[in-house]
Chains A and B, each alone.
Chain A
Amino acid sequence: MSELGTFVSDEVLEDSFKKPGPKQYTLWVDLEYCVGCHACTMACKGENNTPVGVDYNRVMEIEVGEFKNQKEKPDLRVYFVPMPCMH
């Protein structure tokens, strides 16, 4: 999974915006910075004033691999994926 460790450089990022055609908004979330804290969920809530129990933004937690034997070195991954509603 080493490819997950490579950061996307600013140049690559800039390039991705240079696509021809009509202007389109892009939401870029740097997952390396995401620690699964749900601040984005609350920011969305504050901006949109949604009722309690209704959150437009969610953060998914994905568990990859299994760890069952403590006598072996664990190989477990957990990823946090913010899921904005894209409005």
Chain B
Amino acid sequence: MAVAMKRRTFLKVSAAAVTAAAVVSNFKDAEAAEWKKQIGKSGSQPDPVEGEMKIVRSVCLMCHGGCGIQAKVVNGELARLTGNPYHPNTYDYTAKGDIVEESDLDAGANGKDVGSLCPKGQAGIFALYSPFRLQHPLKRVGPRGSGKWKTISWEQAIKEICHGGHLFKNVPGEENRYVEGVKSILDNTKPIGPEDSAYMDEAPPGGWGPKRNQFVWAHGRNEQSPLTPRFVLEAAGVPHMLNH
């Protein structure tokens, strides 16, 4: 086996550049080349050697099945994902009686009651530490799809999206394009009229509804209910919560 394949290499290579092995990790932007080198040649997850270990039980979202996961967290770094033995998806404990307290199962880091987890679930570690993850709010600085972005602050992002303006005046072709912000769209309770629809003769007797319906939400996997429907239906007040 080549030296590069050895366990524990990742931490040494990457600690300085990518993951500080402290409780609150501090990710820095990794250069593309640097990352490529790291994921290609060394381990592909953090591997803290020693330190405080804790178990956190949560729910997977690599797919939509809702399996319980048990995370082994060492020094604030996620070291391993297995199934949560308390969750019926991931462990059959029918013979063990009712589970009320944590002590009803031997579910610790080296416990005998081990939950199973599918390949996608176990690979969640890579998702967390993926080099492809976004780090900052982004605004495009070229035409749509140009792949040219700049980082902006959260304050600026939220302000521009909510209040609109000549947001893309530096983008060729969009110098004079005024963009209406989400706030004014959502506050508009006037009915949608011919200025917004060339199909008024297809509208029901009650019309298309208020102009705020021109805001559309579409989700892929939404497991944040009831917070997300609250945002769309009760806060924004639009009828369409589109899914994938």
Binding site for B on A (CB under 8 A): 37-39, 41-43, 45-54
What are 8 A-to-B residue pairs whose CB atoms are below 8 Å? Answer: A37-B118, A39-B116, A39-B118, A39-B122, A46-B81, A49-B47, A51-B41, A51-B42
Q: How far is the CB of B115 from chain A (nearest CB, A)?
A: 12
Distance A43 CA – B72 CA, assembled complex (angstroms): 13
Contact of B80 with A46 in the complex, beta carbons under 8 Å: yes
Q: How many residues of B contact A (CB 8 A)?
A: 22
Contact of A52 with B40 in the complex, beta carbons under 8 Å: yes
Contact of A51 with B81 in the complex, beta carbons under 8 Å: no
User: Does B45 sit within 8 A of A, measured CB to CB?
Assistant: yes
Contact of A43 with B44 in the complex, beta carbons under 8 Å: no
- Identity of the chain B residue whose Cβ is nearest the Cβ of A59 in the assembled complex: B119
Distance A46 CA – B83 CA, assembled complex (angstroms): 13
Distance A41 CA – B123 CA, assembled complex (angstroms): 10
List the A side residues contacting B218 at CB < 8 Å.
Answer: none
Contact of A49 with B43 in the complex, beta carbons under 8 Å: yes
Indicate whether A50 sits within 8 Å of B5 (C-beta atoms), given known contacts A42-B122, A43-B122.
Answer: yes
Distance A50 CA – B123 CA, assembled complex (angstroms): 12
- Identity of the chain B residue whose Cβ is nearest the Cβ of A48 in the assembled complex: B7
- Identity of the chain B residue whose Cβ is nearest the Cβ of A53 in the assembled complex: B40
Distance A41 CA – B118 CA, assembled complex (angstroms): 10
Among A41, A42, A54, which residue has the most Cβ atoms of chain B within 10 A?
A: A42
Residue among B4, B5, B119 making CB contact with A42, cutoff 8 Å: B119
Contact of A39 with B44 in the complex, beta carbons under 8 Å: no
Indicate whether A47 sits within 8 Å of B119 (C-beta atoms), given known contacts A52-B44, A54-B5.
Answer: no
Which residues B12-58 have CB closer than 8 A to chain A? 39-45, 47
Among A37, A45, A49, which residue has the most Cβ atoms of chain B within 10 A?
A: A49
User: Does B117 sit within 8 A of A, measured CB to CB?
Assistant: yes
Residue among A41, A50, A53 making CB contact with B119, cutoff 8 Å: A41
Distance A49 CA – B6 CA, assembled complex (angstroms): 8
Contact of B119 with A39 in the complex, beta carbons under 8 Å: yes
Distance A54 CA – B6 CA, assembled complex (angstroms): 11
Q: How far is the CB of A43 from chain B (nearest CB, A)?
A: 6
Contact of B80 with A47 in the complex, beta carbons under 8 Å: yes
Contact of B123 with A42 in the complex, beta carbons under 8 Å: yes
Contact of B45 with A37 in the complex, beta carbons under 8 Å: no
List the B side residues contacting A53 at CB < 8 Å.
Answer: 40
Residue among B4, B43, B44, B119 making CB contact with A37, cutoff 8 Å: B119
Contact of A39 with B5 in the complex, beta carbons under 8 Å: no
List the B side residues contacting A51 at CB < 8 Å.
Answer: 4-5, 39-44
- Identity of the chain B residue whose Cβ is nearest the Cβ of A56 in the assembled complex: B5
